[in-house]
Amino acid sequence: MNPFTYCNPVKVVFGAGRLAEAGAEAAKLGRRAFVVSYSDNSVKGTLARLGELFDAAGVAHEEFLEVVPNPPIEMVAVGVEKARAFGADLVVGVGGGSAMDAAKAIAAGVLYEHGDLWNMVYACHSNVTTQPPEKALPLMQIPTLPATGSEMNMCSVVSSLARKQKSYIWADCLFAKTAILDPELTYSLPPFQTACGGVDAISHVLEIFVNGQEKSDLLHEFQLGVIKTIIKDLPVVLANPTDADARAEIMWAATCGINGWASPGDAWTPIHQIGHVLTSHHGINHGSSLAIMMPPWMEYFKAKRPAPYERFEREIMPIPEFKAFIKRCGLPTTLSEKGVTEADIPGIVQGVKDVSFNADGVMSCIPPVTEADVYEVLRRAL
Ligand SMILES: [Fe+2]
Q: Cα(121)–Cα(276) distance, rounded to whole angstroms?
A: 14
Of 58, 61, 67, 55, which is closest to residue 34 (Cα–Cα)? 61
How remote is the CA of residue 273 from the centroid of ligand 1, in Å?
A: 10
Of 304, 320, 286, which is closest to residue 369 (Cα–Cα)? 304
The stretch 57-69 carries a mean pLDDT of 97
Q: Which of 14-23, 124-133, 208-217, 235-244 bottoms out in mean pLDDT, i.e. has the lowest?
A: 124-133
Residue 74 pLDDT > 70, yes or no? yes
How remote is the CA of residue 282 from the centroid of ligand 1, in Å?
A: 17
Q: What are phi and psi of 226, to 5 degrees?
A: -65, -45
CATH architecture of 190-380: Up-down Bundle (1.20)
Sequence-ordered alpha helix ranges (H) in 240-380: 244-257, 270-282, 286-302, 306-315, 319-328, 345-356, 371-380
Q: Cα(339)–Cα(11) distance, rounded to whole angstroms?
A: 43
Percent share of the chain, pLDDT over 90: 88
How remote is the CA of residue 204 from the centroid of ligand 1, in Å?
A: 6
Of the pLDDT bands very low, low, confident and very high (cuts 50, 70, 90), residue 126 is low
Domain with CATH 1.20.1090.10 in the chain: 190-380
Domain with CATH 3.40.50.1970 in the chain: 11-185
pLDDT single digits (tens) 75-115:
999 999 999 999 999 999 999 999 999 999 999 999 999 99
How remote is the CA of residue 83 from the centroid of ligand 1, in Å?
A: 27
Of 331, 271, 325, 275, which is closest to residue 298 (Cα–Cα)? 271
Of the pLDDT bands very low, low, confident and very high (cuts 50, 70, 90), residue 127 is low
pLDDT single digits (tens) 322-373:
999 999 999 999 999 999 999 999 999 999 999 899 889 999 889 999 999 9
- Residues 152 and 115: beta-carbon distance below 8 Å: no
Q: Cα(290)–Cα(333) distance, rounded to whole angstroms?
A: 9
How remote is the CA of residue 200 from the centroid of ligand 1, in Å?
A: 5
How remote is the CA of residue 290 from the centroid of ligand 1, in Å?
A: 8
Please name the fold of domain 11-185.
Answer: Rossmann fold (3.40.50)
How remote is the CA of residue 276 from the centroid of ligand 1, in Å?
A: 9
How remote is the CA of residue 27 from the centroid of ligand 1, in Å?
A: 31
How remote is the CA of residue 29 from the centroid of ligand 1, in Å?
A: 28
Confidence (pTM): 0.94
How remote is the CA of residue 161 from the centroid of ligand 1, in Å?
A: 19
How remote is the CA of residue 274 from the centroid of ligand 1, in Å?
A: 11
